[in-house]
């Protein structure tokens, strides 16, 4: 479980920088055989492997999916979806701009509508390298430009958007900056499930992607707002297991505490290296993996730069 989450962090943005455990365990090739299916509800599935967690929501007349994985994983995802439903895919919702959540878009039929938060749509035009990530050799600079704009969002929202009715209804929310400046929370009210994307990728230090508008000062507040959404029991995370609202609330507090610690150290005249060299996951946060040194240092810097 731990190895999976470390790999998940490394492949954030679809640009694998081979390091530590990833070097011993090469990333699996794009194939439906390398995608696993977890049934969350009778008509809601999480498909894992090849990038961020994909939600598959089977509605009366078609299918809406959330996130489409790394480059080359769109067709394997389409193939795997056929194992749970033969209904047509009508809509893709992307939680945010990163390559391991949006790249498969270009392999879906052009008739599939793509919906994102408005800042994510702008970020997808640029496809900037995330903060702290080294692009892999040969990684596409901008997969959408290379595919003539295919897979780009045509419908966007600012704060909230309701899609569909009754049991098919989906509620999209934007609660502020965090992992990026366009993180959508996708709620399936009839099923009491939310997909949080990478703003809650799992119990870990988040990737604070300042290059794409992310914020280490705001992320805790944004997560706390998301934890107040009604009609939610289960949270699909960006790269980890399905969690609870209590887990989300705890993660909000964890991120608030991290920001406060860094801000207090800055006021006390310490350096970013001193903070990164001494910070440990507070003992009350159980189940949090040991932080990667590079991620910790990068996150200290993001909060530091936001603090006057």
**Which is closer to Zn ion, CB of 58 or CB of 133?**
133
Whole-number minimum distance, CB 264 to Zn ion, in Å?
A: 28
Q: Is 221 in the site for Zn ion (CB under 5 A)?
A: no
CA dihedral 130, 131, 132, 136 (to 10 degrees): 20
Q: Is 177 in the site for Zn ion (CB under 5 A)?
A: no
Which one of the spans 24-32, 105-113, 193-201, 273-281 is the region binding Zn ion (CB under 5 A)? Answer: 193-201
Tokens of 159: 């704060």
Q: Are 183 and 172 in contact (CB under 8 A)?
A: no
Q: Is 239 in the site for Zn ion (CB under 5 A)?
A: no
Q: Is 171 in the site for Zn ion (CB under 5 A)?
A: no
By CB under 5 A, the residues from 77 to 106 that bind Zn ion are: 98
**Which is closer to Zn ion, CB of 12 or CB of 194?**
12
Please enumerate in sequence order all residues whose Cβ is within 8 A of that of 27, keeping only pairs 6 or more positions apart, or say none: 7, 11, 16
- # residues contacting Zn ion (CB under 5 A): 3
Whole-number minimum distance, CB 99 to Zn ion, in Å?
A: 8
By CB under 5 A, the residues from 195 to 214 that bind Zn ion are: 198
Whole-number minimum distance, CB 258 to Zn ion, in Å?
A: 18
Provide the mask over 9-28, with x wherever binding to Zn ion is found by CB under 5 A and - wherever it is not. Answer: ---x----------------
Which residues sit at the interface with Zn ion, rule CB under 5 A? 12, 98, 198
């Amino acid at each position: 479980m731990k190895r999976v989450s470390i790999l998940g962090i490394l492949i954030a943005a679809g640009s694998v920088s081979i390091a530590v455990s990833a070097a011993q365990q090469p990333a699996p090739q794009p194939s439906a055989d390398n995608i696993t299916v977890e049934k969350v509800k009778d008509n809601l599935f999480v498909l894992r492997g090849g990038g961020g967690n994909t939600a598959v929501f089977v509605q009366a007349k078609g299918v809406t999916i959330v996130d489409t994985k790394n480059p080359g994983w769109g067709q394997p995802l389409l193939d795997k979806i056929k194992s749970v439903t033969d209904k047509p895919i009508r809509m893709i919702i992307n939680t945010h701009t990163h390559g391991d959540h949006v790249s498969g878009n270009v392999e879906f039929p052009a008739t599939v509508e793509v919906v994102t938060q408005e800042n994510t749509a702008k970020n997808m035009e640029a496809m900037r390298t995330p903060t702290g990530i080294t692009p892999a050799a040969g990684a596409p600079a901008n997969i959408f430009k290379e595919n003539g704009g295919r897979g780009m969002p045509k419908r966007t929202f600012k704060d909230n958007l309701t899609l569909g009715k009754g049991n098919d209804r989906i509620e999209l929310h934007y609660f502020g900056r965090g992992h990026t400046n366009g993180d959508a929370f996708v709620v399936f009210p009839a099923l009491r499930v939310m997909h949080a994307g990478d703003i809650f990728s799992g119990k870990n230090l988040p990737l604070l992607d300042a290059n794409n508008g992310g914020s280490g000062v705001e992320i805790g507040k944004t997560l706390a707002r998301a934890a107040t959404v009604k009609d939610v029991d289960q949270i699909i995370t960006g790269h980890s297991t399905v969690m609870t609202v209590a887990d989300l609330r705890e993660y909000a507090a964890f991120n608030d505490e991290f920001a406060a610690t860094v801000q207090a150290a800055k006021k006390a005249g310490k350096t970013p290296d001193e903070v990164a060299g001494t910070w440990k996951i507070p003992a009350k946060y159980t189940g949090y993996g040991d932080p990667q040194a590079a991620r910790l240092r990068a996150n200290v810097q993001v909060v530091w730069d936001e603090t006057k």
